[in-house]
Structure 1
Amino acid sequence: MLIFMATAYSTSTVAELGGSPKRSRRMAGILDTIAERGEVSLGELTQQFDSSAATLRRDLTVLADQGLITRTHGGAKAAGSLAELPVALRDTRFQDAKRRIARAAAGQIPRERHAIALSGGTTTAGVARELTGHADLTIVTNSLSIASLAAPYPRLRIVMTGGILRPQSLELVGVLAEGTFNAINVGTAVLGADGFSAAAGVTTHDETEARTNHAMVAKAQRTIVVADGSKIGKVALAQMADTSSIDMLITDDSADPDQLDQLRAAGVTVVVA
């Protein structure tokens, strides 16, 4: 019942926050612009996105209703931190890079008799898609999106944690989720990230999510971080894992080479997909 209810929530969220891939990309672009400038006028947005004022007003209304921006007379401004995009909009960004990263990560997973833990996120969801052809694979996850994606494939065994649902990421977090990860052993943990640097380790925007993913990493024989180049060198609020606990990073060629060299020097195997 929990998975059914959460899947319905995810579908409605996508419809509300984008509807079509084109609109989702535009709305993600609006959030990026507001995050960069702090405040923007409707006229500036119409020029930037080559869309009508009426279309952009509707976009701004949806984003304001979600608490992501604040409407102003003639435009919009940031509402607190715009660091964490809703999952419905994150999926539209860096798609080609994420597909390459996911394919490379799936290539690291044995095709039979293996248990893998997947954190939430669009890149880890891409890894799950690439794993659907594997046989006798157990996927342990706290992500409702990943569980729903993998469920139709009978050769995959899906283990879900309990926990409190984070609507921003559609992940189950908290002591119930941590208890599940603490009770099992997995061969590989695949961890998404909002930031990864040699000094700060793997970080995310939410401290409860960080504790849950820390429990996942602690019980894994090896941990692979999957993150597009925009995340490399960035530091978010809460640490999920320190650099010494990461075996491999799979990223793309947009990552800062100096940051990658620092990670290599810290003992992380770096794969550029």
Structure 2
Amino acid sequence: MSKHQRWSTLLELLAAKGRIEVEEAATALEVSGATIRRDLDELAEQHMLVRTRGGAIAHGVSYELPLRYKSSRQTSQKQRIAAAVSKLVSDGDVVGLNGGTTTTEVARALALRTGGGGVREPGAPVAPVLTVVTNALNIAADLAVRPQIKIVTTGGVARPQTFELVGPLTVGVLREVVLDVVVLGVDGIDPDLGVMTHQEDEASVSRLFAERAQRVVVAADSSKTGRRAFARICGLDRIDVLVSDTGLPAEAATRLREAGVEVITV
């Protein structure tokens, strides 16, 4: 098991239980207690948890998410997709993230990916490696305590079902920024209609995210392919990359590639 996989699993245990013990985690992950202690120390340095004697507890409000976000953390497909998406982002990029279960995993993968970065003196300031612009309150809360990430929120009216900010205030901020890459979570991908979501106000925000970005990446598990939703975000001509799982049907992948979309499956 890689370090990234161990860290994701440790965070899963924290999300489910609120606290973990070293020996319990070592047994669950089938590694030594020393390895778990090092992992917990490194995660604590990144403000992703709080170390305690013999274990760790969850860090603040970032784990108090709706059930749909907690349950999604158990989906290994979305974690693999998120890890692949993080590799498409370069240090120094300005990254846009809309809301959703998959983009929540992408945010966590970005935090893990940018957290290694060499040795520094204790207490020394950390220069941001990435700038993340998001309209998702849960993503903003999770990344706000990551010193290696500069977090920018859009403002707007919060939708309690998805934690997304929408409305004129959201649009006003997005019109003033330029993004290197945007990662969109979507509810449907259709070869003819493009990418879609269930709510029209969220679709308009995601559409503007795409318009402001040099590169548009859609992160979606294979169940979204061939599915239609109420509100259209944009056509496939605006999408550069789709990152999905290996359950993506071959015919769908072919049609997407014919439309000019790079398809990555993990």
Structure-2-length-normalised TM-score? 0.68
CA distances 1:156-202 after superposition (whole Å, capped 9, x unpaired): 10000111111111000111111111110010000000011221111
Name 2:232's counterpart in structure 1: 239
1:21-32 aligned within 5 A: none
Name 1:106's counterpart in structure 2: 86
Change in CA separation of 1:87 and 1:268 when aligned onto 2, cut-off 3 Å: farther
- Structure 2 distance, partners of 1:181, 1:148, is 19
Does the Cα contact within 8 Å between 2:16 and 2:70 map onto a contact in 1? Answer: no
1:32-71 aligned within 5 A: none
Match of 2:204 among 202, 207, 211: 211
- Structure 1 distance, partners of 2:188, 2:69, is 15
Does the Cα contact within 8 Å between 2:133 and 2:153 map onto a contact in 1? Answer: yes
Which amino acid counterpart does residue 157 of structure 1 have in structure 2? K
1:129 partner SS: helix
- Structure 1 distance, partners of 2:97, 2:259, is 24
Structure-1-length-normalised TM-score? 0.66
1:131 partner SS: helix
What's the CA shift for 1:256? 2.1
Match of 2:97 among 118, 133, 138: 118
Tell me which moved more, 133-142 or 232-241. Answer: 133-142
Gaps of 5+ in 2: 1-14, 18-64, 115-127
- Structure 1 distance, partners of 2:253, 2:199, is 24
CA distances 1:25-84 after superposition (whole Å, capped 9, x unpaired): xxxxxxxxxxxxxxxxxxxxxxxxxxxxxxxxxxxxxxxxxxxxxxxxxxxxxxxxxxxx
Q: Does 1:179 align with 2:172?
A: yes
Gaps of 5+ in 1: 1-18, 22-85
**Identity score, percent:** 38
Change in CA separation of 1:136 and 1:196 when aligned onto 2, cut-off 3 Å: same
Q: Does 1:224 align with 2:204?
A: no
2:145 partner SS: coil
Does the Cα contact within 8 Å between 2:68 and 2:101 map onto a contact in 1? Answer: no
1:64-143 aligned within 5 A: 88-89=67-68, 91-93=70-72, 95-110=75-90, 112-132=91-111, 133-134=113-114, 135-143=128-136
Does the Cα contact within 8 Å between 1:205 and 1:236 map onto a contact in 2? Answer: yes
- Structure 1 distance, partners of 2:214, 2:66, is 28
Name 1:144's counterpart in structure 2: 137
- Structure 1 distance, partners of 2:197, 2:254, is 22
Alpha-carbon RMSD across the aligned residues, in angstroms, is: 1.8
1:190 partner SS: strand
2:96 partner SS: strand
- Structure 2 distance, partners of 1:130, 1:226, is 13
Change in CA separation of 1:157 and 1:245 when aligned onto 2, cut-off 3 Å: same
Q: Does 1:271 align with 2:251?
A: no
Q: Does 1:191 align with 2:170?
A: no
- Structure 1 distance, partners of 2:246, 2:95, is 26
Change in CA separation of 1:263 and 1:91 when aligned onto 2, cut-off 3 Å: farther
- Structure 1 distance, partners of 2:132, 2:194, is 24
Does the Cα contact within 8 Å between 2:183 and 2:216 map onto a contact in 1? Answer: yes
Does the Cα contact within 8 Å between 1:87 and 1:121 map onto a contact in 2? Answer: no
Does the Cα contact within 8 Å between 1:163 and 1:172 map onto a contact in 2? Answer: yes
Which amino acid counterpart does residue 178 of structure 1 have in structure 2? V
